[in-house]
Structure 1
Amino acid sequence: MLTLLHTSPVHVPVFDALGARHHPGLELRHLVHEDLLAKARSDGPAAMDSALGAVLTEAVADGATAVLCTCSTIGGAAQAHTARLGVPVLRVDRPMAAAAVAAAPERGTVRIAVVVALFSTLAPTTDLIREEAAAAGRRVDIRTVSAEGAWERFEDGDRDGYLDIVARTVDGITGADAVVLAQASMADAADRTGTVLPVLSSPAPGLRAAAAAAQGAERSAEDV
């Protein structure tokens, strides 16, 4: 069973739809803990690590063979619990970051524009891209672009307004090899853009990686 840890309930139908379309037969369980993001935003990711660890421990006790954290702000902190838990804990944005690093020819610097609506996502996302670039032996030039006013729309429940602001922000970007949508909630904005640049989002590739990890863990358990 793959357990998904969300910090907003808006992600549940998104990942359910992706699972049904691309991973039929994979059992998904959703946990929504908005308090984890609130704590991370107010006091920093380290402040909610104990609560995060308890949530992950309970998920494994309830049968998770892998956990996917869909929140970019706390994804790195969640992944750090992998060794302790003995099951893969993945962050949804890692495959997206790897794809961004590979978005330009092997020679030269990869120019990546990171669109953010929530400031707490900024450092975890850019750090992850640099980590993936180092692993690939690539140089990166990361530029961050704020989708001003978007998060307020998100918090007000105005999904269309949120996505429209993100899309307009993307359409204003030039001089990049790829655009990264830093938050999973931004994914549908890619369909509203008119840019010719590659626009990368995290839900589909993140779920694909997590599904493979969960299924691999299940096969390993059966072989024991």
Structure 2
Amino acid sequence: MQKKTLGLIHTSATLVPVFLELCTAHLPNVNVFNIVDDSLIKQVIANGELTPGVARRVVNHVGAAEAAGADHILVTCSSIGAAVEQAALLTGVPVWRVDQPMADRAVREGTRIGVVATLPTTLQPTSDLVRRRAIAAGKTIELESVLCEGAFEALMGGDSATHDKKVADALTSLASRVDVIVLAQASMARVVEALDPSVKKIAILSSPAIAIQQLATVL
């Protein structure tokens, strides 16, 4: 039986080793290749939104992954999720948003759902996705979205300690009000291990592992 091929499209080179480790663990018999274009997220941040030009390039990257032989394509950036959905309509193989399996799990596990991000350009599309997946599941939810002001800038400036503290404070505060928390960016996941055990009693979901585990069920 011929091996399946998964094409990964990233907006940051830092995500390549993260997904390589996950694919090695959960998709050992699947060929994997990466396409990286960090100008996409830089332009989204600079413009404060997903622009038509960026969306068009996302569609082009997805088309290139299909042309390269991908049987499934996973786009690993939440900020460009709307463009991923557009690309899926134009592509002959399944195209996945990295955050959809996470959103579906959040909707299954709770009715009070928190979404945390360090960028407004990621917070809005992730929150919107959770709302839409709840509607698709026929479930009524309460959604609280929290932006960790200054955390992203601190991380980009090399101050990971300030980033981690801001994210930890947001998670600790939100945990008392919700059933489940969605991390809109994979970069926040490392903060979870250091949280107080009382905070970790609720589910805190991060998209990379959940997405790859979901793909493992179909690949």
Please give the TM-score of this superposition, normalised by the length of structure 2. Answer: 0.88
- Taking the aligned partners of 1:160 and 1:28, their CA distance within structure 2 comes to 33
- Are 1:168 and 2:169 counterparts? yes
More deviation, 165-174/66-75: 165-174
Change (3 A) 1:18 1:157: farther
How far did 1:156 drift? 2.8
User: Mapping of 1:67-216 within 5 angstroms?
Assistant: 67-104=73-110, 110-159=111-160, 161-173=162-174, 174-194=176-196, 195=199, 196-213=201-218, 215=219
Please state how far the C-alpha of 1:157 moved relative to its aligned partner. 4.4
Q: 1:101 to 1:145 in 2, by over 3 A?
A: same
CA contact (8 A) 2:59 2:83 kept: no
> Matched residue of 1:3: which SS?
strand
Shift of 1:159: 4.7
Letter in 1 for 2:10: H
Q: Is the 8 A contact 1:2 1:66 kept in 2?
A: yes
Q: Write the letter of the residue equivalent to 1:198.
A: A
Q: 1:211: Cα distance to partner?
A: 4.0
Structure 2 unaligned residues grouped into runs of 5+: none
Task: Please tell me whether the aligned partners of residues 164 and 192 of structure 1 are also in contact (alpha carbons under 8 angstroms).
Answer: no
Q: Secondary structure at the match of 1:143?
A: strand
Contact 1:96–1:206, Cα closer than 8 Å, also in 2? yes
Deviations 1:61-116 (A, max 9, x none): 11111111111110231132123110111011111111111123xxxxx1111111
Cα distance change of structure 1 residues 75 and 210 upon mapping to structure 2, 3 Å threshold: farther
* Length, aligned pairs only: 209
Look up the match of 1:19.
Answer: 23
Letter in 1 for 2:157: D
Sequence identity (%): 37
Distance in 1 between the 2:82 and 2:161 partners? 29
Backbone CA RMSD of aligned residues: 1.8
Partner Cα separation in structure 1 for residue 81 and residue 165 of structure 2: 25
For 2:78, what is the secondary structure of its paired residue?
Answer: coil
TM-score, with length taken from structure 1: 0.86
* Contact 1:5-1:68 within 8 A present in 2 as well: yes
1:218 paired residue number: none
Check the 8 A contact 2:9/2:74 in 1, yes or no. yes
* Structure 1 gap ranges (5+): 105-109, 216-224
Which amino acid in the other structure matches residue 152 of structure 1?
Answer: E
Tell me, in whole angstroms, the C-alpha distance in 2 between the residues paired with 1:151 and 1:94: 23
Q: Give the stretch that moved more between structures: 39-48 or 129-138.
A: 39-48
